[in-house]
Chains A and B, each alone.
Chain A
Amino acid sequence: MKLNLISNATLYKLLPWAVTCLLISPIIALLINSFSSDPQGSFQHLFDTVLLTYSLNTLLLILGVMSLSFIFAMPVAWFVACCEFPSRTILQWALMLPLAIPPYIVAIVYTDLLDFSGPLQRLLRGVMGWQRAGDYYFPEIRTLFGAILILSLALYPYLYLLLRGAFLGQSGSLFQAARSLGASPLRAFYRVSLPLSRSAIAVGLSLIAMESLGDFATVNYFAVSTLTTAVYDTWLELGSLTTAAKISSLMLLALVILISLENYSRRKQKVYQRGGATHTQLRFVLCGWQKWGALTFSWILLVAAFILPLFTLCYYALSYFSASLTAALWQYTLNSVWLAIIVAGLALLIALTVNFYQRLCPGLFARTTIRLSSLGYAVPGTVVAIGVLIPFTELDLGVNQLLLENGFSGIGLFFSGSLFILVVAYLVRFSAIAVGSIDSSLAQVSPSLDLASRSLGQNAFQTIRRVNFPLIKKGMLTAIILVFIEAMKELPTALLLRPFNFETLATYVYQFVSDEMIEYAALPALLIVLMGLIPFIIVNRLLEKST
């Protein structure tokens, strides 16, 4: 379908495709690489020895985190959305806050608290009179199960947010109808509310699964070998890009399966007409043991996932404040902030390019650029890192060869060894967030507004400037802030791609974490949390005002 809404703008039509090609180049590179030969036979070696264990660990990790997150998120989402009990309004927003703490920071806090020398075991020994570790049994946190627990505490808010939204959107009269047909509240929940939320559950669980698949820092710290750690080790320790790429392709395959499963479960979901009174008007008042049960469960979850880690970090940060407050910390904070701002700005530009392409030339082509440019978000950071290394090292090699052959001096690792490649990798991962945010805020701008402006003598670009931009201001700000938060937190991509002597706050924290120096990790970690938390609160304010 060709509509003459923009004329003489070939450049504008090429730009979205150029951007999309850049963003999917790592994935294409990995796919090509996975079919190439295995010169040192190292992939074959891995395959013969540990790859099965790694894959199994990854699978168990994903399934474990999905189950435990569901057990955490589902009850609190229902309490907060459909019931009435004390402190509900606080819990409603507080339960999202764990999203601001990267999982590896939760991991060091719990390791510190639960270690042999940690406060809990010291207390137990003091009370029980035990002397040595052999005197008693205490569960070890640095195991696969520990990793599952930590990741679930950090990731459950994804599912919580989606489920709460789904419960709030359901017509309360459906629940009441089920009650009037003789179902107990619990049964009505199980028979009506839960099936109606199936699509939210599928989306939430698949997000959690993707994050677990991509997690590097937590499992590496806990010495659980998964596919992610395998990619990291083969590249940084064996130096084999080909092998790392092959393992990465394996993870891409897992992603494809995950995404197809999600699409499948969503396809079966019909759109239910929203009507009648919502749960907001018909909250189910909890009393007696129900009230205490809901309160205990919700608050224990909040304390475990957010308050306790934050409190511990504050404690260490204050205790070691002067020792932590160094010139290096200042420098790395600046690095992180600048990097995040550049990435957020560029991601916004990318999002505007592809989204307005879709708005002006709607159709399959435009839809495809949006889909493709959003692919990177699902791909783990380590995989993206390997993916961008392949084309850009090739590019460096080619350019150097060309320059040397013509008598010029080479440029060295101009692309693959500089901040450039780090920025590209971040864009590959995080552009999707900006694209999604602009997409949904543009969707709320009725197309007839554009047509009204066009019929009043404004051309396509004047219409964008005078009508669309003012109306998606909040969406643009949200996009920038969300990308900023993610870029501040991102660890594995930075670990693999940072130029020599370049540190971000996250890699700085991770150094201390690897050396088990939580005292020194606390202040920078707290900075990461705050820089996630404050923009996060701003975004929520923005979104709440717009609805």
Chain B
Amino acid sequence: MPTLQINKLSCFYQDIQVLDLLDLTLNHNEIMCLLGESGCGKTTLLKAVAGLQAQLSGDIQINGNPVNGKGLNVAPEKRKIGFIFQDYALFPHLNVFDNIAFSLDRLSKQEIKQRVDSLLALVQLSDYSERFAHQLSGGQQQRVAIARALAYQPDLMLLDEPFSNLDHHVRFQLIDEIRALLKSSGMSALFVTHSKEEGFAFADKIALMQAGKIVQIGTAQALYCHPNSRYVADFMGLSNYLKVHAVDQFSYQSDLGLLTSDSEIELNKAPLTLLLRPEQIAITSSADGLGCISKVSFSGSYQEIRVIYRGNDYHIKHSNHFGDTQQFKVGDRVSLRVLNHDFVLLR
């Protein structure tokens, strides 16, 4: 049974449709990332699952129990969900221990102490139980928030932009820690972000949203390598679009020469658009090359190069191998070649 099942969920806010007949399934111990630009409806979706969103139509089930449906709207405290907020929402009048113990008021004192101590150990904050929120760093506050949510033993963890208030170097370390924590606790999680790097690092699957709909769902690789639209392709990374047309069952003709495919292709006279990621184009210096470099920027392990080739602009990533003597400068003549890969054709 999936942990979360959403069917045909729509939401209106002041006559604007924020969610549009949206379907989603989240399996047990799976971490899914809701990715999209601001205003695409991802936070609304999260709040709908938590029971904090009004004016919904459609069904939501958590662990097979309906929580939203016709005439049904289960109160947030009865849904067994954990919610992690962007601002952590630690209770400022309670210390770390009491924050984590907040939902444990039915247990005996000793049981509470046991549970909180083990959670503190889990998030590596055993020495901080007496501290208050304002005495903790952002990363520590986030870990307390996670421990507090885990104490309630939710069926599903919802995280709303949980890493956006953190410094870059703390962020990715914490992402690894919390991912490991959720996985080891057998938790399923739905996670909202606008940063694809966070999604890559934290989630098993990514659901990319646009205007209240999920436009593509799958692993990070699938979305990056096999996007189903230009929107997805551009959102996931830099893209080059190359006009091609089939010449026979195994090859296309293009500006960058003849491209051969390993598998048989559909013979179609109409021109097609081929997606080329910057690392799928090879670049070599050559005095009689047709390309001319317009920009070079150094990014550590690779160089980002822009080339004008037959009037079109191409983004290229050139890996800096150790001992590689090729130095590119603006104005150099170069030739380009498409590396062999699974072709992705877009409309």
Contact = CB atoms under 8 A, between A and B. Distances in A.
A455 B149 contact: yes
A453 B54 contact: no
A4 B51 contact: yes
Contact of B85 (A2, A448, A456, A458): A448
B102 interface: yes
Contact of A455 (B55, B81, B86): B81
B264 interface: no
Given A446-B89, A449-B91, A455 B82 contact: yes
A459 B77 CA distance: 6
A5 B89 contact: no
Contacts of A451: 50, 52, 76, 83, 85, 89
A454 interface: yes
Given A4-B73, A449-B91, A451-B85, A458 B103 contact: yes
For A446, A448, A471, which residue has the most chain B Cβ atoms within 10 angstroms? A448
A236 interface: no
Interface string B146-188: 0011011010000000000000000000000000000000000
B93 interface: yes
A457 B76 CA distance: 8
B344 interface: no
B89 A456 contact: no
Q: How large is the interface on A (under 10, 10 to 19, 20 to 34, 35 or more residues)?
A: 20 to 34
A470 B52 CA distance: 23
A451 B85 CA distance: 9
B50 A457 contact: no
A470 B77 contact: no
A133 interface: no
B107 interface: no
Given A449-B91, A455-B83, A3 B152 contact: no
Given A4-B75, A446-B89, A471-B93, A456 B149 contact: yes
A40 interface: no
A467 B103 CA distance: 12
A466 B94 CA distance: 10
Given A451-B52, A470-B93, A456 B87 contact: no
Contacts of A470: 93
Contacts of A446: 87, 89
A1 interface: yes
A455 B76 contact: yes
Interface in A419-478: 446, 448-449, 451-459, 466-467, 470-471
Interface in B131-149: 145, 148-149
Contacts of A37: none
B300 interface: no
Contacts of B78: 457
B92 interface: yes
Nearest to A453: B102
Interface string B287-322: 000000000000000000000000000000000000
A326 interface: no
Q: Give the residue among B51, B77, B81 with the most A Cβ atoms within 10 A.
A: B77
Interface string B99-127: 00011000000000000000000000000
B54 A2 contact: yes
A454 B91 CA distance: 13
A180 interface: no
Interface in A1-41: 1-5, 7
A5 B75 contact: yes
A449 B88 CA distance: 9
Contact of A467 (B79, B87, B91): B91
Contacts of B87: 446, 448
Given A455-B77, A458-B103, A448 B54 contact: no
A454 B76 CA distance: 6
B85 to A, nearest CB: 4
Given A3-B52, A5-B75, 9 more contacts: A4-B51, A7-B75, A448-B87, A452-B89, A455-B77, A456-B152, A457-B77, A466-B102, A471-B92
21 contacts: A1-B54, A2-B55, A3-B52, A4-B51, A4-B73, A4-B75, A5-B76, A448-B89, A449-B91, A451-B52, A451-B83, A451-B89, A452-B85, A452-B89, A453-B102, A454-B51, A455-B83, A456-B152, A457-B152, A458-B103, A459-B77
Interface of B: 50-55, 73, 75-79, 81-83, 85-87, 89, 91-93, 102-103, 145, 148-149, 151-152, 154
